[in-house]
């Protein structure tokens, strides 16, 4: 959070120039909306229309700062050529202002299609009046008819999953993940995206929040939990307001690439997805060490199947230790993983801020980001010297004279390598004959390019990014 007086939005504004120098062109910020608690991170969404402007939930500012600080930070980012993505939490609401007695059916928590008890009257926290905002920006007030389910019966003081029923309710949406039978319900008061008043309010917010803040796209939270037809409607609405190329990435957390491809094929508008399968492979590789076959690193990944639609990442706020999707990537393997997503042309690489700065930062990461900005251009040619050796891979970026000179990247998970006697021969082209190539990360490996345009690049444990010495 920076100093005690500095909000997170202010810190981001201060860091923008340095991020831009590293080659950052887009930043996904935390949810800017008012949370259910003073220090809530925004995923416990209370009021989407309160960006840190109104006295609600015991605070005016959100955990991240005030609305004025947010707007200033986005303005500074745009001035440095950095787009901002708003994290849109559309699936649920938390922190209701009041409760109602409603009819609901308890369902099995591990299979929401199974009703485990008859319909009964429960006390559900489903009233959202937003008294601090008092109708500014949106007059909409939420009641039980705007939700499909809750997780608490205040009457019986019973925790569970309760499907709200009424004459018009059709139950859970069928256009959601089939996990747990039907994964419409996630947490809190689950939003009913089939309700016309809900759709109208959220679609209005889609255009408003971009226009109000100057942000230029969305990271869409928990998309496998709500009707994907509404997801498409939301993105289409935001793009129709003079933003036809607006970038949107949906969080659909599943490690099976086939499920992600099915999800994308069902969408009526194009958008990117996070490559959770690739992250899962990174986690597995980091746990197995030299027992993992690096040649299989892209197997069953989204970036392999749909490279233009994959947002690749190593870790994020959900995957680190202690979080809901805990699947950490070891510090030893992280530079290899970041080299893969940053220095190859496929996908949209996403760098986790805690890997870049702070006590757990990865020392090699700034140089890898610089290498992407300076050298990772041209065609990508893969090289595997010996198909029987699973512990190293290499690839060449051929470079473009008008953009960058290219680089040769060698990656190894063989901890037994202690010197530079093992090499990978790569043809970089006769135009480089006689030039000396060194590791941009400052390691000891080097080679001279021979008359045939070939270099014999030393293989070292971890990551080496070889570039021409005269371009460093």
94: which DSSP letter?
A: -
pTM to 2 decimals?
A: 0.94
Residue-level pLDDT at 66 = 98
- Asked if residue 237 lies in contact with residue 204, where contact means CB atoms within 8 angstroms, the answer is no
**H or E stretch including 12?**
helix 8-21
Alpha helices by DSSP H, 80-180: none
Cα separations (Å) of 362 from 227, 232, 331, 444? Answer: 38, 37, 7, 20
Q: What is the mean pLDDT of each run of 10 residues along the chain (472 residues)?
A: 78 98 97 98 98 98 98 98 98 98 96 96 98 98 97 97 84 94 97 96 98 98 96 97 94 96 95 98 97 95 97 94 89 97 97 94 97 96 78 94 83 85 91 96 94 95 96 90
251 a catalytic residue: yes
Cα separations (Å) of 443 from 29, 163, 335, 459? Answer: 34, 59, 14, 11
Alpha helices by DSSP H, 267-333: 276-288, 302-305
18 a catalytic residue: no
Domains, the chain, ranges and CATH? 8-91+197-375 (3.20.20.80), 93-195 (2.40.30.140), 380-471 (2.60.40.1180)
Residue-level pLDDT at 167 = 64
What CA–CA distance (Å, rounded) separates 227 from 173?
A: 6
Give the active site residue among 221, 309, 346, 414: 221
- Asked if residue 313 lies in contact with residue 275, where contact means CB atoms within 8 angstroms, the answer is yes
Residue in 285, 273, 286 with CA at minimum distance from that of residue 313? 273
Residue-level pLDDT at 344 = 97
Per-residue burial over 71-89, b if 16 or more Cβ lie within 10 Å, else e, is bbbbebbeeeebbbbbbbb
Q: Token pair of 5, please?
A: 């007086």
Residue-level pLDDT at 1 = 44
What CA–CA distance (Å, rounded) separates 322 from 319?
A: 8
Residue-level pLDDT at 2 = 47
Please list the residues that pair with 312 across neighbouring strands. 349
Number of other residues whose CB lies within 10 A of the CB of residue 153: 20
Give the active site residue among 251, 346, 355, 439: 251
Which string of DSSP letters, residue by residue, matches 394-424? EEEE--BTTTB--EEEEEE--TT--SS--EE
């Amino acid at each position: 959070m920076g100093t005690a007086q500095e909000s997170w939005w202010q810190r981001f504004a201060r860091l923008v120039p340095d991020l831009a120098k590293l080659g950052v062109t887009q930043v996904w910020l935390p949810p800017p909306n008012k949370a259910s608690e003073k220090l809530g991170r925004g995923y416990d969404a209370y009021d989407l229309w309160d960006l840190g402007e109104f006295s609600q939930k015991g605070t005016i500012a959100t955990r991240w700062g005030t609305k004025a600080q947010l707007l200033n930070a986005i303005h500074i980012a745009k001035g440095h050529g950095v787009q901002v993505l708003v994290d849109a939490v559309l699936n649920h609401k938390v922190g209701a202002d009041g409760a109602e007695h409603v009819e609901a059916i308890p369902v099995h928590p591990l299979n929401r299609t199974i009703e485990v008890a008859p319909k009964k009257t429960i006390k559900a926290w489903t009233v959202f009046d937003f008294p601090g905002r008092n109708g500014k920006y949106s007059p909409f007030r939420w009641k039980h008819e705007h939700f499909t389910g809750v997780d608490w019966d205040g009457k019986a003081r019973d925790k569970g999953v309760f499907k709200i029923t009424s004459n018009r309710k059709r139950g859970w949406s069928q256009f959601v993940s089939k996990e747990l039978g039907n994964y419409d319900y996630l947490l809190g008061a689950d939003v009913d995206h089939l309700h016309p008043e809900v759709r109208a309010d959220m679609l209005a917010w889609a255009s408003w929040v971009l226009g109000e803040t100057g942000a230029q796209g969305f990271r869409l939270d928990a998309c496998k939990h709500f009707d994907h037809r509404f997801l498409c409607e939301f993105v289409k609405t935001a793009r129709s307001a003079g933003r036809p190329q607006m970038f949107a990435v949906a969080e659909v957390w599943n490690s099976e690439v086939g499920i992600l491809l099915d999800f994308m094929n069902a969408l009526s508008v194009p958008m990117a997805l996070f490559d959770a399968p690739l992250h899962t492979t990174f986690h597995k590789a980091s746990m197995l060490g030299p027992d993992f076959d690096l040649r299989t690193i892209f197997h069953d990944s989204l970036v392999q199947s749909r490279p233009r639609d994959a947002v690749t990442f190593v870790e994020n706020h959900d995957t680190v230790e202690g979080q809901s999707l805990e699947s950490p990537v070891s510090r030893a393997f992280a530079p290899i993983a970041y080299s893969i997503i940053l220095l190859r042309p496929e996908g949209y690489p996403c760098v986790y801020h805690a890997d870049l700065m702070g006590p757990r930062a990865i020392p090699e990461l700034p140089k890898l980001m610089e290498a992407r900005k300076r050298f990772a251009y041209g065609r990508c040619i893969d090289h595997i010297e010996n198909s029987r050796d699973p512990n190293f891979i290499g690839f060449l970026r051929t470079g473009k004279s008008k953009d960058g000179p290219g680089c040769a990247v060698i990656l190894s998970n063989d901890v037994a390598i202690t010197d530079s006697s093992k090499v990978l021969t790569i043809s970089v082209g006769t135009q480089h004959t006689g030039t000396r190539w060194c590791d941009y990360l400052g390691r000891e490996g080097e080679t001279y390019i021979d008359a045939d345009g070939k270099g014999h690049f030393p293989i070292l444990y971890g990551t080496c990014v070889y570039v021409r010495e005269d371009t460093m």
